Structure 1
Amino acid sequence: MAVTYNESTKIFTLQTAETTYQMMVGRYDILQHLYYGKRVDGSTMEYLLWGTDVGFSGNPYEAEGDRTFSLDTQPQEYPSQGVGDYRTSCLEVVNPDGSMAADFRYVSHEITKGAYTITGMPAVYDEEGNNSLGNNSLGSTTLSILLKDASTGLELVLKYGVFEKEDVITRAAELRNSTEGTVSLEKMLSVCLDMPFGKWDMIHFHGRHAMERQTERTPLCHGTVSFGSKRGTSSHHHNPSLLLCTPQTTEDAGDCYGMTFVYSGNFIAGAEVEQMGQTRVFMGIHPESFCFRLAPGDTFETPQVIMSYSDKGFTDLSHKFHKIIRDHICRGKYKYARRPVLINNWEATYFDFNEEKILKIASQAAELGIEMLVLDDGWFGKRNGDCSGLGDWFVNPDKLPEGLSGLSEKINAMGMKFGLWFEPEMISEDSELYRAHPDWALRIPGRKPNRSRFQLVLDMSRRDVRDYLFERMSDILSNARIDYVKWDMNRSMCDIYSAALPAERQGEVYHRCILGVYELLERLTSAFPDLMIEGCSGGGGRFDAAMLYYSPQIWCSDDTDAVERLEIQYGTSFLYPIGTVGSHVSACPNHQTGRITPFHTRGVVAMAGSFGYELDLNTLPQNEKEEVKKQVSDYKKYYELIHQGAYYRLNGAGAFHGQEFVAWSFVSEDKKQALVNLVITHTRANSKPVFIKLKGLDAAAVYRLEDGRCLSGSALMNAGICIPSASGEYRAVQFELNAQ
Structure 2
Amino acid sequence: MAIYAEDNLFFINSKGFSLILENYHEYLMVRHIGKKVQTYQHSNLLIDKDHSFSPAPFADNRNFSLDTQRQILGQHGLGDFRVPSIIIANDENQLSDFKFKDYTIFQGLPEEKTLPFPYDNSHTTQTIVFTLEDSILDLTLEIYFSIYEESSTISTHRKLINHSSNQYKIKKIDSFTIDLQPLDYQFITFQGAYGREKEMVIDSLKQGTHSISSTRGASGHSQSPSLIIGENKVNESYGECIAVQLMYSGNFHVTVQKNQLREIRVSTGIEPTLFEWRLDSNTDFVTPAVVINFSDAGLNQLTHISHDYILNHIMPHKFANQIRPILLNNWEATYFDFSYDKLINLAKVAKDVGIELFVLDDGWFGNRFDDNRALGDWFVNEEKLSGGLEQLITEIHNLGMQFGIWFEPEMISENSELYQAHPDWVIRAKDRNHIYSRNQLVLDLSNPEVVNFIKETLSHFLTAYDIDYVKWDMNRNITNVGNHFTLSENLMQSHKYMLGLYEILDYLTQKHPNVLFESCAGGGGRNDLGIMRYFPQVWTSDNTDAISRIQLQKDMTYLYPTIAMGAHVSAVPNHQTGRITPLETRNHIAMMGNLGYELDLTTMSADELLKIKQCIATYKTIRSTVQLGQLTRLETTHPTNEYANQFVSDEMVVLTYVKILSDVEFSESVIKLKDLDEKAYYVDQSNRVYSGEELTVIGITMPVNQQDFYSNQIIFNKIKEN
Match of 1:135 in 2: none
Q: TM-score normalised to the size of structure 1?
A: 0.95
CA distance in 2 between partners of 1:558 and 1:194 (Å): 38
Matched, 1:200 2:194: no
* Contact 1:22 1:45 survives alignment (8 Å): no
* Superimposed CA distance per residue, residues 350-384 of structure 1 (whole angstroms, 9 cap, x where no aligned partner): 01111111111101101111111100001111111
CA distance in 2 between partners of 1:621 and 1:160 (Å): 58
Out of 75, 82, 95, the residue aligned to residue 80 of structure 1 is 75
Offset of 1:701 from its aligned partner? 2.3
Match of 2:252 in 1: 267
CA distance in 1 between partners of 2:192 and 2:336 (Å): 28
Matched, 1:69 2:64: yes
Matched, 1:704 2:704: no
1:713–1:201 Cα change, 3 Å: same
Out of 49, 68, 72, the residue aligned to residue 46 of structure 2 is 49
Offset of 1:686 from its aligned partner? 5.5
Match of 1:581 in 2: 565
Offset of 1:295 from its aligned partner? 0.6
Match of 2:431 in 1: 446
Moved more, 116-125 or 512-521: 116-125
Matched, 1:356 2:341: yes
* Superimposed CA distance per residue, residues 477-503 of structure 1 (whole angstroms, 9 cap, x where no aligned partner): 22222110000000011111235x755
Match of 2:115 in 1: 121
CA distance in 2 between partners of 1:466 and 1:529 (Å): 19
CA distance in 2 between partners of 1:717 and 1:228 (Å): 41
CA distance in 1 between partners of 2:183 and 2:354 (Å): 55
Match of 2:284 in 1: 299
* Contact 1:484 1:531 survives alignment (8 Å): yes
Offset of 1:47 from its aligned partner? 2.8
1:250–1:48 Cα change, 3 Å: farther
Aligned residue for 1:389, secondary structure, equals coil
CA distance in 1 between partners of 2:60 and 2:225 (Å): 43
CA distance in 1 between partners of 2:406 and 2:456 (Å): 16
* Contact 2:182 2:261 survives alignment (8 Å): no
Match of 1:491 in 2: 476
RMSD: 1.4
Offset of 1:65 from its aligned partner? 2.9
Matched, 1:373 2:358: yes
CA distance in 2 between partners of 1:304 and 1:94 (Å): 23
* Contact 2:106 2:126 survives alignment (8 Å): yes
Offset of 1:413 from its aligned partner? 1.1
Offset of 1:738 from its aligned partner? 2.2
Give the residue type in structure 1 aligned to 2:189.
H
* Superimposed CA distance per residue, residues 596-651 of structure 1 (whole angstroms, 9 cap, x where no aligned partner): 11111111111121111000111111111111111211222112111211101112
Map 1:276-295 → 2, pairs under 5 A: 276-295=261-280
Match of 2:29 in 1: 32
* Superimposed CA distance per residue, residues 75-108 of structure 1 (whole angstroms, 9 cap, x where no aligned partner): 111122121111011101102x422111111111
* Contact 2:311 2:317 survives alignment (8 Å): no
Offset of 1:466 from its aligned partner? 1.5
* Contact 1:118 1:303 survives alignment (8 Å): no
* Contact 1:91 1:187 survives alignment (8 Å): yes
Match of 2:693 in 1: 714
Match of 1:604 in 2: 588
Q: How many residues align?
A: 719
Aligned residue for 1:391, secondary structure, equals coil
* Superimposed CA distance per residue, residues 21-62 of structure 1 (whole angstroms, 9 cap, x where no aligned partner): 1001112x11111111111122154734222111241011xx
Out of 531, 546, 569, the residue aligned to residue 562 of structure 1 is 546
* Superimposed CA distance per residue, residues 232-290 of structure 1 (whole angstroms, 9 cap, x where no aligned partner): 00100001111011122111011111111111000000211101111111111100110
Q: Which 5+ residue runs of structure 1 have no aligned equivalent?
A: 129-137
* Contact 1:35 1:45 survives alignment (8 Å): no
Match of 2:3 in 1: 3
Offset of 1:687 from its aligned partner? 5.5
Out of 524, 548, 553, the residue aligned to residue 540 of structure 1 is 524
Moved more, 357-366 or 117-126: 117-126
Out of 596, 601, 606, the residue aligned to residue 617 of structure 1 is 601
1:46–1:5 Cα change, 3 Å: farther
Match of 2:412 in 1: 427
CA distance in 2 between partners of 1:56 and 1:91 (Å): 24
Matched, 1:90 2:90: no
Offset of 1:11 from its aligned partner? 0.5
Map 1:110-509 → 2, pairs under 5 A: 110-128=104-122, 139-499=124-484, 503-509=487-493
* Contact 1:11 1:24 survives alignment (8 Å): yes
**Identical positions, percent:** 37
CA distance in 1 between partners of 2:53 and 2:426 (Å): 50
CA distance in 2 between partners of 1:542 and 1:696 (Å): 33
CA distance in 2 between partners of 1:488 and 1:482 (Å): 16
Q: Which 5+ residue runs of structure 2 have no aligned equivalent?
A: none
Give the residue type in structure 1 aligned to 2:78.
V
Matched, 1:531 2:528: no
Matched, 1:517 2:501: yes
Offset of 1:119 from its aligned partner? 2.7
Offset of 1:332 from its aligned partner? 4.7
Aligned residue for 2:586, secondary structure, equals helix
